[in-house]
Amino acid sequence: MMRDPQPRPPAGAAPSNNRPSFPAPGPQTANVLFPFVDLKAQFSSIHDEIMAAVTRVLESQQFILGAEVAAFEDEMAASLKTMHAVACASGTSALELALAALGVGAGDEVITTPYTFVATAGAVAQVHAKPVFVDIDPETFNLNPDGIEPALTERTRAIIPVHLFGQAADLGPILEIAEEHHLAVIEDAAQAIGALYRDAPLGSLGTMGCFSFFPSKNLGGAGDGGMVTTNDAGLAERLRLMHVHGSRRKYHYEILGRNSRLDALQAAVLRAKLPHLARWTSGRRQVAARYRELFREYRLEGQVKLPAELKDRTHVYNQFVIRCPQRDELRNYLSARGLPTEIYYPVPLHLQPAFAYLDNPKLPHAEAASRETLALPIYPELADTHVRATVSAIADFCTGQ
Ligand SMILES: Cc1ncc(COP(=O)(O)O)c(C=O)c1O
């Protein structure tokens, strides 16, 4: 007997399955009044430019490296004021390439923050070095420079500060310590493209800077992508070799490398978006200012802690993260009213099973941040009514309504 043919989606329909995807489809987004991240709003505002860029690559049939990727690298280097920019497959890969280009490997230690996305410390482990976690400054959530010197050993090779949520880590003292102890500084600027520290773009101050073009980043691609920036010509050369199998000439391998290239399609999409980045950043900053205004209007400053914006830095608000001791109750309250929020990060890395093999100390500020922080929606297209609805619901929660 013939079995029924498998039902197929109509031609052109998006395939569906139960695998993870971003943004998450289905029930998580079904009941919310508006999305936590709205990629469609941005896309519709530049639809024709993106389609022209994608078409240009398709018509060229030049998908790997080539002029599109080279032009994007040059444009990024100019915008970030660095001598060199090497595009690669993801922000995670950018960190791994940066460490490998420095020769960091087995037996080496790298100091970093436990309060970050897994890739920061994961990259250290992937090159067979040891991540050494140092606690954060509870005001900024960034690596506290005071914790670095006590954590140094003879094996320390590098420091990876993360410019978390879009604001620079305290690079001044970090760079001083690094210089004194001959350590490299790899800036994890995945969340902070365009942010400044004392007027200098992030990614231009350390030995290298690592960026991510994950779709939800301030400059997001149509998929994965990343970049390493540096002012060191020798490191740039190594990065270039390493991201294409260690090969300058086809089938000749000077060093052991990997395949970590940015697709030409991604480069074209990102080139179309780059000229809009300054405007989008100012849109994010305006939403942040609006949140602050409304939190003042509702007299919530004593009950909810707003993100610190430090004077010598320009915050680009990849996230707007507040702090509240009843964070989980607040999140449930908002969620029941259709108001989306996120938690970055619910478990700091030193408490994750994946890093349990390390001899991790207690890091109380990171642990408290993981219990108390809540990210509110922030993107340039976010409607003022949604910003007000969020703050007004937080006010209701705080006054027990
Ligand atoms: C701080 C930080 N580092 C590294 C990464 C890794 O970037 P990607 O997702 O492009 O691999 C991310 C991305 O979420 C990040 O937020």
Q: What confidence tens digit (pLDDT) does each residue in 64-103 have? A: 999 999 999 999 999 999 999 999 999 999 999 999 999 9
Rounded CA-CA distance 323/308 in Å is 11
Asked if 35 and 23 count as a contact pair (C-beta separation under 8 A), the reply is yes
Query: In the predicted model, what is the mean pLDDT of residues 292-307?
Result: 95
Give the residue among 192, 108, 216 at the shortest CA–CA distance from 142.
192
Q: Which CATH number fits domain 276-398: 3.60.150.10, 3.40.50.12500, 3.40.50.720, 3.90.1150.10?
A: 3.90.1150.10
Confidence of residue 398 (pLDDT cuts 50, 70, 90): very high
Summarised one tens digit per residue, pLDDT across range 41-63 is: 999 999 999 999 999 999 999 99
Is 190 touching ligand 1 by the criterion CB < 6 Å? Answer: yes
First to last CA, the chain: 63
Using most ligand atoms within 8 A of CB, pick from 22, 37, 90, 92 the residue to mutate for ligand 1: 92
Asked if 210 and 226 count as a contact pair (C-beta separation under 8 A), the reply is yes
Using most ligand atoms within 8 A of CB, pick from 163, 187, 212 the residue to mutate for ligand 1: 212
Residues of the chain within CATH 3.40.640.10 domain(s) are 47-274
Is 90 touching ligand 1 by the criterion CB < 6 Å? Answer: yes
Give the residue among 218, 198, 146 at the shortest CA–CA distance from 310.
198
Give the amino acid at 52: A
What are the Cα distances from residue 256, in Å, to 76, 125, 241, 280? Answer: 27, 18, 9, 39
Residues of the chain within CATH 3.90.1150.10 domain(s) are 276-398
What are the Cα distances from residue 260, in Å, to 93, 114, 239? Answer: 7, 26, 10
Look up tokens 């309060």; give the residue.
115
Give the residue among 380, 273, 256, 338 at the shortest CA–CA distance from 30.
338
Does 325 or 30 have the greater pLDDT score?
325
Using the mean position of ligand 1's atoms as its centre, give its distance from the Cα of residue 295 in Å: 30
CATH topology of domain 47-274: Aspartate Aminotransferase; domain 2 (3.40.640)
